[in-house]
Amino acid sequence: MSSNHSLKGHAAALFSVLFWGTTFISTKVLLKAFTPYEILVYRFLIGVLVLWLIKPGKDTQVPLKKKSHEWLFFGAGFSGVTLYFLMENNALTMTSVSNVGVIVSMAPFFTALMAHFLLKNEKFRPSFFLGFLSAMAGIVLISYNGSAALALNPMGDLLALAAAFIWGIYSIFTKKISDLGYNMIIATRKIFLYSLLTMIPLYPLFRPEIELAKLIKPIHAANLLFLGIGASALCYVTWNWATKVLGAVKTSIYIYIIPVIAILTSTLILDEKMTLLGTIGTLLTIAGLVISENPLGRNKTRELRKD
């Protein structure tokens, strides 16, 4: 893989997390008028429509080598969208945002664990675990910001942990899909379609109310479009492409930055104060990403991946 291609992969992953780190504000605004299930459906319905407009036509550019490959798309949609967001959103109703922020940021660990056993050329490196410890220490400081005490809420915390585990599964699915040679826009659209299909059986459980007046209200429409176009359609494509270029483990490391972006945007937009511990946490988190990536100590004989 050329260094230029690798650099583009890092840029794509960074682009995704920069968007995702700001989604907490949009979601917080929308939760005043919509349920988590409603936001999830509207967000990814917009995402599907946008990706269809960008690249209309057949579901795939290359024929499926095996019919069983269809299950990869189903698995990615069900895990990385439906299950992940339902678990994370419901965890937020049972435990604190701080708890969820810390626990969900463990996703890179689960990704690395599964990739080690399920993917080729995705083996453990000592630097990953050192970076993980540094990043988690930083994320704890960022999330609690020196003012809140740790409070365990078993059900909510377990849901957040399950969400982190599920994202690891999603990373494996997307890496396998990318290795089959699918166009990432078309593959992501297909993943979104399966996510919407798997949301349908949940309709009687959540009973969403479709109110046009709420949807067209400028503040609601703007935030839904931001989540659907930016955080879903664009970011899932760039994230999935980064996974193809860099690998599941290396891409997942960028998840560490999401809490950093969240606290910075809260400081700038919501006028929340950045404490000393929050600043230290930010530096520790960034250091964790750098250590995990280990640009200086990497073996010169790099793993070969498909471009």
CA 21 to each of CA 37, 44, 60, 177: distance values in angstroms, whole numbers, following the listed order:
20, 18, 31, 25
| pLDDT band, residue 75 (cuts 50/70/90) | very high
State pLDDT tens for residues 218-246: 999 999 999 999 999 999 999 999 999 99
pLDDT recorded at residue 74: 95
DSSP state letters, 35-83: -HHHHHHHHHHHHHHHHHHHS-S-S-SS--SSGGGHHHHHHHHIIIIII
Which is it for the CA torsion 265, 267, 271, 272, positive or negative?
positive
Residue 2, classified by CB atoms within 10 Å of its CB into exposed (0-12), middle (13-18) or buried (19+), is exposed
The least confident of 144-158, 172-186, 282-296 is: 144-158
Across 98-136, b (16+ Cβ under 10 Å) vs e yields: bbbbbbbbbbbbbbbebbeeebeebeebebbeebbebbb
Place of tokens 């080729």: 120
Residue 296, classified by CB atoms within 10 Å of its CB into exposed (0-12), middle (13-18) or buried (19+), is exposed
CA 194 to centroid of chain Cα atoms: 17
Tokens of 285: 């988190």
∠ CA 80-91-240, nearest 5°, is: 20
**What pTM did the predictor assign?**
0.82
State pLDDT tens for residues 243-281: 999 988 889 889 888 877 877 776 777 666 667 777 787
Closest CA to 95 of 8, 153, 32: 153
Round to whole Å and give the CA distance between 33 and 158: 27
> Helices in the chain by DSSP H: which ranges?
3-20, 23-30, 36-54, 70-77, 84-94, 97-104, 107-118, 126-144, 154-179, 184-199, 203-206, 212-216, 218-225, 235-246, 248-252, 257-269, 276-293
Mean pLDDT of the 289-297 span = 65
Place of tokens 């377990």: 158
Amino acid (1-letter code) at residue 301: T
Closest CA to 50 of 301, 222, 233, 183: 233
The least confident of 134-138, 139-143, 234-238 is: 139-143
Round to whole Å and give the CA distance between 236 and 46: 13
